[in-house]
């Protein structure tokens, strides 16, 4: 049996004293919690996770990216206030704006000790162009292509990556297609049976765009 | 060939005289040795391999010689999803093939993008850049469908004229045999389609 995530966290803090680690809760039925690492010490923590004799996480099975947009979290707190001399409980709603960020998620297993997964996350400061994270490729070589894929589709730049270029899209491509605010090229064509999202796009082209655009612009040359 | 009466020809054949024309002989030879270019793009390629193997045996139609070089191939079977990253290479391969050359678009993806049509990275049909002779619907089409397409192509080759105003496209000197290779743009391929070979369907406004 692998140690619990709390034990792993405290042992990491013992090995890398300055590290700031958070446990990210997961409310879904799987209850798969993860460790949020800070960028500065991620590489040292990675080395620890791989080399520690009780963990030996020698297999990086998956690396993926997540795009979190700016979001507003509403919190309702009950506070006691005196209204006309009588004490009452009143709901007070506060809105907290959480700025968006990009996230890289790694899943590690140990082939040697047959346990896992340990999930770690890293978050960028913002969603701006050139958002950075440290690369874990020096620790787990198998992360190389997957970090390139995250760079390609989400635009996270990995410091310390040996060969960071686009892997799926062409080099001249400038967008990051898996970001939630990605805008596709407008190349709608006539569809015999549009539905759902396609129907919405079809409607835009049927009514709101009297000028030639998309496929019709092509037609005109 | 239209000069000789069909009845007379049959009659002559019965008497042991075989009359033919240069065109007929030439097309007969061409249609029975169509060498496809050996490349596959996705799951349709598996069906193409099955077609070439012993059970379906495309050799019965003279198409078993899959060539690894476009210089030796007559037929391009676009078997599978054409991603936008792959599209320029497909057009380049087509350009490198020697005339006369033919294209079969095999399966929903090669025809229209298929299930990936709404994706940002898939070409909505190879006919946007190169002329296609036979389309096969299906996802993927069965080997019988590919054989049917192959036979349709043979019929098409058989009907090609060598002379006159209706002669085959590859014999017309003013017709292009190479098509512009699309460039990788910042957001999409440039141009998104070649208007000389492709006309998108008109949007019906209601």
ipTM computed for the complex: 0.77
Q: What is the pLDDT of residue A218?
A: 56
Tell me the mean pLDDT in the region A65-69. Answer: 93
CA–CA separation, B86 vs A166, rounded Å?
15
pLDDT band at A214, cuts 50/70/90?
A: low
Domain ranges of chain A: 5-67+102-174, 183-221
Statement: residue A123 has pLDDT above 90: yes
CB B153 within 8 A of CB B134: yes
Q: Model confidence over A83-93: pLDDT tens digits? A: 777 888 888 88
Asked if A174's CB is within 8 angstroms of B195's CB, the reply is no
DSSP state of B16: T
Distance from CA of B56 to the nearest CA of A (A): 34
Asked if A219's CB is within 8 angstroms of B200's CB, the reply is yes
Asked if B184's CB is within 8 angstroms of A206's CB, the reply is no
Statement: residue B37 has pLDDT above 60: yes
Asked if A172's CB is within 8 angstroms of B188's CB, the reply is no
Percent of chain A scoring above 70 in pLDDT: 93
Q: What is the pLDDT of residue A1?
A: 74
Strand partners, B122: B83
Q: How many A/B residue pairs have CB atoms within 8 Å?
A: 63
pLDDT band at A120, cuts 50/70/90?
A: very high
Question: Strand A22-24 and strand A34-37: pairing?
Answer: antiparallel
Asked if B191's CB is within 8 angstroms of A190's CB, the reply is no
Percent of chain A scoring above 90 in pLDDT: 57
pLDDT band at A210, cuts 50/70/90?
A: very low
Q: Model confidence over A8-32: pLDDT tens digits? A: 999 999 999 999 999 999 888 988 8
Full 3-state SS string of chain A: CCCCHHHHHHHHHHHCCCCCCEEECCCCCCCCCEEEECHHHHHHHHHHHHHCCCCCCCEEEEEEEEEECCEEEEEEEEEEEEECCEEEEEEEEEEEEECCEEEEEEEEEECCCCEEEEEEEEECCCCCCCCEEECCCCCCCCHHHHHHHHHHHHCCEEECCCCCCCCCCCCCCCCCCCCCCCCCCCCCCCCCCCCHHHHHHHHHHHHHCCCCCCHHHHHHC
Tell me the mean pLDDT in the region A189-215. Answer: 69
How far the first Cα of chain B sits from its last, in Å, is: 50
pLDDT band at B205, cuts 50/70/90?
A: low
Q: Tell which wins on pLDDT, A58 or B177.
A: A58
Statement: residue B118 has pLDDT above 90: no
A-chain residues near B196 (CB < 8 A): none
Collect all residues with Cβ–Cβ distance below 8 Å to B185 and sequence separation of at least 6. Answer: A172, A173
- Interior CA angle at B130 toward B126 and B134, to 5°? 70
- The per-residue pLDDT of chain A, averaged, comes to 87
Q: What is the pTM of this model?
A: 0.83
B-chain residues near A197 (CB < 8 A): 118
Collect all residues with Cβ–Cβ distance below 8 Å to A182 and sequence separation of at least 6. Answer: A175, A176, B120
Joined together, the tokens standing for residue A200 give 């919405």
- The per-residue pLDDT of chain B, averaged, comes to 90
Q: Model confidence over B121-176: pLDDT tens digits? A: 999 999 999 999 999 999 999 999 999 999 999 999 999 988 888 888 888 888 88
Q: What is the pLDDT of residue B1?
A: 47
Statement: residue B206 has pLDDT above 60: no
Query: For the ranges A57-66, A81-90, A179-188, B11-20, which has the lowest average pLDDT?
Result: A81-90
Question: How is domain A5-67+102-174 classified at the CATH fold level?
Answer: Beta Polymerase; domain 2 (3.30.460)
Statement: residue B202 has pLDDT above 90: no
A-chain residues near B125 (CB < 8 A): none
Q: Tell which wins on pLDDT, A75 or A21.
A: A21
Q: B100: phi > 0 → left, psi -120 to 50 → alpha, else beta; which? A: beta
A-chain residues near B84 (CB < 8 A): 170
Asked if B203's CB is within 8 angstroms of A206's CB, the reply is yes
In chain A, which residue's Cα lies nearest the Cα of B192?
A218
Asked if A215's CB is within 8 angstroms of B200's CB, the reply is yes
Q: List residues in chain A touching B: CB distance below 8 A.
A: 168-175, 177, 182, 184-185, 187, 189-190, 197-198, 205-207, 215-216, 218-219, 221
Task: Identify the three-state secondary structure at position B156.
Answer: helix
């Amino acid at each position: 049996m692998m140690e619990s995530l709390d034990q792993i966290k405290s042992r990491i803090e013992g090995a890398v004293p300055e590290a700031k680690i958070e446990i990210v809760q997961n409310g879904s039925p799987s209850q798969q919690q993860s460790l949020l690492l800070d960028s500065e010490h991620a590489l040292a923590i990675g080395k620890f996770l791989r080399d520690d004799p009780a963990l030996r996480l020698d297999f990086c099975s998956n690396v993926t990216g997540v795009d979190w947009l700016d979001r507003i979290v509403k919190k309702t707190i009950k506070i006691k206030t005196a209204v006309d001399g009588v004490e009452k409980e009143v709901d007070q709603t506060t809105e907290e704006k959480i700025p968006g960020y990009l996230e890289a998620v790694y899943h590690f297993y140990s082939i040697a000790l047959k346990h896992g997964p340990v999930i770690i996350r890293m978050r960028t400061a913002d969603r701006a162009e050139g958002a950075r994270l440290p690369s874990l490729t020096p620790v787990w070589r198998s992360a190389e292509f997957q970090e390139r894929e995250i760079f390609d589709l989400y635009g996270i730049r990995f410091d310390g990556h040996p060969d960071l270029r686009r892997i799926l899209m062409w080099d001249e491509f400038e967008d990051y297609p898996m970001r939630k605010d990605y805008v596709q090229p407008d190349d709608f064509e006539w569809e015999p049976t549009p539905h759902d999202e396609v129907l919405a796009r079809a409607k835009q082209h049927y009514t709101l765009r009297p000028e030639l655009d998309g496929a019709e612009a092509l037609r005109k040359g | 060939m239209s000069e000789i009466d069909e009845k007379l020809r049959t009659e002559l054949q019965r008497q042991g005289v075989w009359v033919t024309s240069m065109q007929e002989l030439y097309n007969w030879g061409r249609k029975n040795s169509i060498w496809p270019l050996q490349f596959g793009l996705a799951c349709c390629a598996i069906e193409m391999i099955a077609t070439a193997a012993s059970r379906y045996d495309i050799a019965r139609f003279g198409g078993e010689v899959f060539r690894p070089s476009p210089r030796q191939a007559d037929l391009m079977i676009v078997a599978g999803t054409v991603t936008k990253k792959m599209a320029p290479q497909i057009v380049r391969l087509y350009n490198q093939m020697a005339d006369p050359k033919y294209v079969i678009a095999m399966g929903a993806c090669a025809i229209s993008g298929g299930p990936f049509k709404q994706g940002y990275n898939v070409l909505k049909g190879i006919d946007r850049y190169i002329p296609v002779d036979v389309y096969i619907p299906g996802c993927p089409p069965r080997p019988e469908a590919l054989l049917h397409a192959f036979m349709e192509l043979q019929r098409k080759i058989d009907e090609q004229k060598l002379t006159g105003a209706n002669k085959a496209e590859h014999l017309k000197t003013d017709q292009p045999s190479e098509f512009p290779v699309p460039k990788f743009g910042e957001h999409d391929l440039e141009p998104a389609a070649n208007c000389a070979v492709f006309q998108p369907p008109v949007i019906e406004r209601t």
